[in-house]
Chains A and B, each alone.
Chain A
Amino acid sequence: MKIRSILALATLVFVLALSITPAAADGHCPQEGGTFTIGVDTFLPMDPNTAAHDWTFYAITNINSMLFRIESGQPVGDLAESWDITDDGTVYTWHIRPGMMWHDGNDVFPEGESREVTAHDVVYSIYRQYDDESSIMAADLRNLFVSAEATDDHTVVLTLSGPDAIMYDKARGLTFTAIVAPEAIEMYGDDYGLNPLGSGPFEFVSYSPDEEVVLRANEDYYIDPCLDEVIFRVMPDVPAAMIALEAGDIDWWGSVTPGDDVGRFQDNEDMTVLNFGCPVATRLYMSVDKPPFDDVRFRKALSHMKDGNAINAALRGPTHVKGAGTAGPGVAGYVEGLYDEYHSYDPELAMSLMDEMGIVDTDGDGLREWDGSNLEIPMFAWNSDPAPDYVAAMVDAAAQVGLTIRPEIADPGTNNARRLDGEWGIYLGQGWCGEGGTNALWGRNGWISSLGYEDEEIFDLLDKSAQNLNEEEREAQLQAATTRVAALYFEPAFGFFNIFTVKNNYVKDFFGGEWTLNLATDDHNVWINEDER
């Protein structure tokens, strides 16, 4: 941690030296105060046990202290100043930062009557997630969990039955565990999410559903936040939100930005486009347990019959990234060149594969038959942009090789139900980012298991990697799994897209959200330059 801090300090000095705005005398905030308004597309009550949206967690991670935060993809200290892990990866000892106080001036802790956050509160919070079967604690951590105990007021020992390599991965492991005050849970019960209380850099002020959440700076935090106020504004209509962003009604759009707007914002001198750093794949799944999809040749034909890269480039605009596989560039398990090897555009090959299988046009209507009648494949997709465009592109590509694809586009719920029922056909799908995502998708009991994606070798590789603390070995196992998925399933890939968020330039020292939203940390303290607004 020492070296990190020194490095960070050096960076900070360098940045400040470069910046035109002179820093305040104490080197702390160039400009104090200000309101940071964040636009998001959905927002839910802020109980870490039940909140199911990253954007909600952006608020939670500012109200509540976390054991650790993620910054530039790496875990950094928060409530835990530091931690040790035994060599076998099963025992974590967390050293809790002394002097952290619960927010006061509320119904639970009247002004000045707060108390210090202790190791016992951490244990309480972990067990609250573990004991509540409906909490969103990840299954892999739940399955490995043995115990959590406070050995003194500032030490927590977490014992697992095996090593967990995705402890710090986005949205898996302990990254869900926000530290809550037992007194607040006792007072509010199920309504805690409407009255969240923590020890983070910002205090909860108010929540209006579907409207906004207001937080104000916690002056007792161990860092003084430069911002006075943080507002999360809910904007379900993305184009409207883009207008608001440009008009300065919101300072940062924290949810996914559509490709075309990214291009426009990149050209806008007043805006900065930030990369979330986790490319997401768009690909097809299919009912691989049913013919003709159970034949690898047919899967291969589906993969080669379309110009996935061109389609993805057209539909994702500046967010497009060429590639294929379960992990994108920059994510553990990424394999270079997978697209060209398994998914390149080759309609001739696609046709010859189908010919080989006997899926040919015998009656001369230009359409291929299978099992005595024209082969018409339903393609399932959800109904928000740009999913339907992928379907249109597939319909067109299939027609070139004599196949008929019937669009079956529905709201996400109906679309999910079809996948769960394992209906015969092909499915548009998006990957998840991070290695935890790879696991949840292709692993045992994974998200697409209902379609018949079951391969012991892949399961095995993923299980091993999830418990392997050696980074190099883990990377190799993940790459092996990724390659195996491509070679076995030919899961027809289009490419990746980057998740970009966009901020106005008057928001300073801000680098976007990761899975935690870091507004006041050792290295960064977000502030608003009101002169530029």
Chain B
Amino acid sequence: MIPLVFGVTTVTFALIHLIPGDPVELMMSNTRQMTQEEINRIRDKLGLNDPLPVQYVRYVTNLLKGDMGISIRSRSPVRYEIEQRMPDTIILTLSSISLVLVFALPLGIVSALKRGTWIDTASMTFALLGVSIPQFWFGIMLMLIFGLHLDWLPTVGQGKTPIEFARSLVLPSVALSLSLMGLVTRMERSSILEVLGLDYVRTAHAKGLGARQVNYRHALPNAMIPVLTVISAQFASLLGGSVVIEKVFGWPGIGRLAVDAIFARDYLVVTNTVLVFAVMVVLVNLATDILYSYIDPRIRFQ
């Protein structure tokens, strides 16, 4: 895990410095009117004129001391910037995953058990639509319909009170969860179908267990494993996918921070957010493995 995280950090550091463009100039050119002379002075002061290896060594030594450095754009500690946004992204991600669990899972199960009926057709069409609609576009449409025309929900930002916060979470979560919903519904359906076709389920049937019992005791738990895999694998891409959604809905998360930082050439912010992403992905994979062994004791760590 440590070499992996180290590799990710190094690659990101190199990558972000390969991008042409100067952070100081970018920061200033929006509204401030600065001559080249002024820009060079600031660059110098911020250590951006040092050779890259020097900057890299400085970054790594600081990181080992727990210091992520200073953001060029905001001039506040990168650690602060990340800590401030971390909970927002996690909440958004978790709320999307819960939407998936609440809606997509039952849909997939029903679909499989009622295979071939109109319920199956309808939910499979929904699922396919889910993976076929561009997320950002869906977000904009949601905003137009529910935020503006119907005026049911706030369009952007976060509410302050718990109720308002929950309300403001609805549209971005729905937009973000859409494709995962589609994916999980499909996955759940096919893995249940697969499990139902397996020997031990047939055996259970043969032993005279009722269909309902077979389904709930044997088929469902086993069909959960692939779904869990999907969700855990998707966790990384949910984090990354929240980039666009966070941008559209003005959600102050870490994905948006990363992308804004790439465009602002805010080198240390990019490197450190990607580092945090990588650690999270690794941790989620670890957690999934542990969950596996709970659901299916036959699976053990190698």
Interface residues of A (CB under 8 A from B): 42, 44-45, 47, 50, 52-54, 132-134, 136, 138-139, 171-172, 190-191, 193-194, 208-212, 233-237, 239-241, 243-244, 246-247, 249, 411-418, 420, 432, 434, 436-437, 439-441, 443-447, 449-450
Question: B41: which A residues are within 8 A, CB to CB?
Answer: 133-134, 139
Is B200 part of the binding interface, using a Cβ–Cβ cutoff of 8 Å? no
Contacting residues of chain B (70-90) with chain A, CB-CB under 8 angstroms: 70, 73-77, 80-81, 84-85, 88
Contact across chains for B147 and A243 when beta carbons are under 8 A apart: yes
Please list the residues of chain B having a beta carbon within 8 angstroms of any beta carbon in chain A: 19-23, 25-38, 41-42, 44-46, 70, 73-77, 80-81, 84-85, 88, 140, 143-144, 147-148, 151, 154-158, 247-250, 252-253, 256-257, 260, 263-265
Q: Which residue of A lies closest to B42 (CB)?
A: A134
Q: Which residues of A contact B256 (CB under 8 A)?
A: 210, 236
**A171 in contact with B28 given A190-B75, A411-B263, A420-B22 (CB within 8 Å):** no
Shortest distance between the CB of B192 and any CB in chain A (Å): 39
Between-chain CB contacts (< 8 Å), 9 pairs: A44-B75, A136-B28, A139-B35, A190-B76, A190-B77, A191-B80, A209-B81, A237-B250, A411-B263
A52-B73, A413-B26 given; name 15 further pairs at CB < 8 Å: A44-B73, A136-B32, A139-B37, A190-B70, A209-B76, A209-B84, A209-B257, A211-B88, A211-B157, A233-B157, A240-B248, A243-B156, A244-B154, A413-B264, A413-B265
Q: Tell whether, in the assembled complex, residue B29 and residue A412 are in contact, meaning their CB atoms are under 8 Å apart.
A: yes
Q: Are A243 and B30 in contact (CB under 8 A)?
A: no
A411 to B23, CA, bound (A): 12
Contact of B76 among A53, A194, A412, A443 (CB under 8 A): A194
Give B77 Cβ to nearest chain A Cβ, in Å: 8
A210–B252 touching, CB < 8 Å:
yes
Q: Are A234 and B250 in contact (CB under 8 A)?
A: yes
When chains A and B are docked, how far (Å) is the Cα of A263 from the Cα of B250?
24
**Which B residues lie within 8 Å of A52 (CB)?**
27-28, 30-32, 73
Q: A447 to B42, Cβ gap below 8 A?
A: no
In the assembled complex, which residues on chain B have CB atoms less than 8 Å from the CB atom of A50?
74-75
Could you tell me the distance in whole angstroms from the C-beta of B19 to the nearest C-beta in chain A? 7
Min CB–CB distance A380 → chain B (angstroms): 12
| CB pair B21 A414 closer than 8 Å | yes
Task: Tell me the bound Cα distance from A47 to B75 in angstroms.
Answer: 9
Report the Cα distance A244→B153, complex, angstroms: 11
Which residues of the partner chain B approach A414 to less than 8 Å between Cβ atoms?
19-21
Question: Nearest Cβ in chain A — how far from B21, in angstroms?
Answer: 3
Q: How far is the CB of A174 from chain B (nearest CB, A)?
A: 15
With a cutoff of 8 Å between Cβ atoms, the chain A residues found around residue B264 in the complex are: 413
Residue of B nearest to A448 (CB): B36
Separation of A136 and B28 alpha carbons in the complex (Å): 9
Residues of B within 8 A of A439 (CB): 33
Question: What is the chain A residue whose CB lies nearest that of B76?
Answer: A45
Residues of B within 8 Å of A411, CB to CB, are 21, 263
Residues of chain B lying within 8 A (CB to CB) of residue A444: 35
The reply to whether A437 and B21 contact each other, CB–CB distance below 8 Å, is: no
- Cβ-closest chain B residue relative to A431: B33
Partner of B21, one of A237, A417, A434: A417
Q: Which residues of B contact A233 (CB under 8 A)?
A: 157, 250
Choose among A209, A241, A416 the residue that contacts B252 (Cβ–Cβ < 8 A). A209
Are B155 and A249 in contact (CB-based, < 8 A)?
yes
Q: Which residue of B lies closest to A444 (CB)?
A: B35
> Which residues of A have CB within 8 Å of B249?
237, 240
Q: Are the CB atoms of B76 and A191 closer together than 8 Å?
A: yes
The CA-CA distance from A439 to B80 in the complex, in Å, is: 37
> A243 and B143: CB pair below 8 A?
yes
Are B85 and A210 interface neighbours, CB within 8 A?
A: yes
